[in-house]
Structure 1
């Protein structure tokens, strides 16, 4: 019997499960999906900076606020020393933040988020504490500081670009002083005011939601404050709108300072690792943070200068440590503080030592 030998044919071009470009596209899509939380976070802070730039005037708007015009304080030598210490802390932290943003390349800035997040937060916090000190609030308690600055925002102590806030109970939040905040926020960088306000509004709502959920956990974990079932006497697992309403007073107002508090929360959790690994514009992230820090610190410095008296504040700036001389503090004094407090401020030379990149942030 004759057998036929089968010949195995090996193709010259083996079949590939998926083309290389398709695999690359899948990888790119996966990287983008993983980067979305970081991109949204960048969008938030870019939107805040965009909103500030679009709505700010040359003098920051402080001179138009009745609260600012009536701001005074009686300060002893010990008070002046305490204020000086707070300002030095704020300025030194901002100095470190600026050095990172100025000297770092993209890779460095990516990994620098581990310390630039807390630097941005604490640079603003110390300046805020200096301002609050002149209003009689002299505490390091974070909850007290947040509550008091919330009241000041609502009282119009801050100019329009940063006077927005959220209020109301869980599930029924209201956004104030952001008329376009009700629009749906996109995943793209803001290019119009409507985009910026929508993203800020979204951040206010998510931040207040996080605060409400955290407050509920604290209330229910405490036997003395827990809301209980009338039938069993046990702490309730499910809440109605009425239950959420009962804790609303504990939330205070949600302001830009709560949004900045997200930097501290992110830095202290695994969330920071997701940002470091994400595919986003880290240079844009740092420049947005820096501009926000500079804007808010300029407001607080002007309040402190008004409380101290402009001449005493000038002396304080003139006596700065070496690393802070001829830099952003003097530039803000010249461009932000003196124009508000002195009708005809003395002529001061432009600061040549600062790079062009950071003059915009003074």
Structure 2
């Protein structure tokens, strides 16, 4: 019998066919990440209840801030606006190849502009902190208390691994690897994003607890640190996790940018322009919400003064447009807040 060698084996696929397949497989993590943020934006755009007008929390929001407080809020907002300015500048350059490599800084920019806007909102609630951990816990409570529209008011709760998704009735469906085209697809993607993010959070806390001799859970028989946990053990750390919200999902942008994960994204074959458009839409929407809360707390006149005092690069910019298109109508007869693509 003639020996079979590599020379006389006819390959099932040519080298040209194999390369696209390998590229696609390597692109899956980045595509999933894009799907998540596209789904978040899709849900915002296609949810009727994306305004502040029906929120009791918003209508009753007020604050007593002195001049020192107003100055502090203004500085926080300036940080948010300057970071959004940089993010927009990158998006406007438009080159696909440039946007691919820009992920190294646009990921953290998207996170930090929203984070700063959230800080300004929390400041009007007398929550003054730079701690990401504390801010995450506080915003989780605000989400549960309906301080945010239902378009972004979803969250995950409960112990590992039996998480419960709230305010996303279609989140239990299995997501695909395709860009969401329907609301059911978007909610499935967001639901999975919430579950995976909460799972990572639970595992991180478990490691912290077990690596500390003072807090580690031990076997009642041997006294040794437990290597495996059951449901009862996981339930003991649930209080440390708080609620998992959209803001925890956004924190994945910061985490990804500081790990090797970002390099896989840069090398992936995905629609980078679409990714940036999604991030920018989410930034516009959430920053508009937080700025509206600040304006509601301090009054439109004082908020206008903050905008008028902005440095040259922010004069007559998206900040002014958002004030006119998003915030001022709240104080008018319509008393509504709606997502404005113009700002």
Residue 311 of structure 1: aligned partner: 301
**Is the 1:291–1:361 Cα contact (8 Å) retained in structure 2?**
no
Residue 89 of structure 2: aligned partner: 99
Describe the superposition over 1:12-59 as per-residue Cα deviations: whole angstroms up to 9, x where unpaired.
xx978448x7221211111000000000000000000000000156xx
**Is the 1:295–1:361 Cα contact (8 Å) retained in structure 2?**
no
**Pairing 1:117–2:117 present:** no
Describe the superposition over 1:184-239 as per-residue Cα deviations: whole angstroms up to 9, x where unpaired.
00000010000000000000000000000000000111111111111111110000
Q: CA deviation at 1:142?
A: 1.2
**Pairing 1:329–2:310 present:** no
Residue 24 of structure 1: aligned partner: 16
Residue 348 of structure 1: aligned partner: none
- Equivalent runs, 1:189-228 vs 2, <5 Å: 189-228=179-218
* Partner secondary structure for residue 213 of structure 1: helix
Looking at structure 1, the residues matched to 334 and 245 of structure 2 have their Cα atoms a distance apart, in angstroms, of: 34
Residue 240 of structure 1: aligned partner: 230
Residue 46 of structure 1: aligned partner: 38
Looking at structure 1, the residues matched to 48 and 92 of structure 2 have their Cα atoms a distance apart, in angstroms, of: 24
Largest Rg, 1 or 2: 1
Residue 220 of structure 2: aligned partner: 230
Given candidates 19, 27, 31, the residue that maps to 1:35 is: 27
Residue 275 of structure 1: aligned partner: 265
Looking at structure 1, the residues matched to 29 and 342 of structure 2 have their Cα atoms a distance apart, in angstroms, of: 26
Looking at structure 1, the residues matched to 295 and 203 of structure 2 have their Cα atoms a distance apart, in angstroms, of: 39
Looking at structure 2, the residues matched to 342 and 220 of structure 1 have their Cα atoms a distance apart, in angstroms, of: 55
Looking at structure 2, the residues matched to 104 and 223 of structure 1 have their Cα atoms a distance apart, in angstroms, of: 52
Given candidates 236, 241, 258, the residue that maps to 2:248 is: 258
- TM-score, normalised to structure 1, is 0.89
Structure 1: any 5+ residue segments left out of the alignment? 1-13, 346-358
Given candidates 117, 125, 134, the residue that maps to 2:124 is: 134
The two structures, once aligned, show a CA RMSD in angstroms of 1.5
Looking at structure 2, the residues matched to 249 and 320 of structure 1 have their Cα atoms a distance apart, in angstroms, of: 42
**Pairing 1:151–2:132 present:** no
Q: CA deviation at 1:324?
A: 0.7
- Equivalent runs, 1:331-346 vs 2, <5 Å: 331-343=321-333
Structure 2: any 5+ residue segments left out of the alignment? 1-6
Looking at structure 2, the residues matched to 24 and 74 of structure 1 have their Cα atoms a distance apart, in angstroms, of: 67
Looking at structure 1, the residues matched to 327 and 166 of structure 2 have their Cα atoms a distance apart, in angstroms, of: 28
**Is the 1:294–1:361 Cα contact (8 Å) retained in structure 2?**
no
Residue 360 of structure 1: aligned partner: 341
Describe the superposition over 1:229-272 as per-residue Cα deviations: whole angstroms up to 9, x where unpaired.
11111110000000000000000000000000000110111000
Looking at structure 2, the residues matched to 233 and 255 of structure 1 have their Cα atoms a distance apart, in angstroms, of: 37
Across the two proteins, how many residue pairs are aligned to each other? 333
Regions of 4+ moved over 3 Å: 14-19
Looking at structure 2, the residues matched to 23 and 63 of structure 1 have their Cα atoms a distance apart, in angstroms, of: 58
Looking at structure 1, the residues matched to 98 and 334 of structure 2 have their Cα atoms a distance apart, in angstroms, of: 43
Q: CA deviation at 1:344?
A: 6.8
Residue 80 of structure 1: aligned partner: 70
Looking at structure 2, the residues matched to 69 and 336 of structure 1 have their Cα atoms a distance apart, in angstroms, of: 16
Residue 163 of structure 2: aligned partner: 173
- TM-score, normalised to structure 2, is 0.94
* Partner secondary structure for residue 170 of structure 1: coil
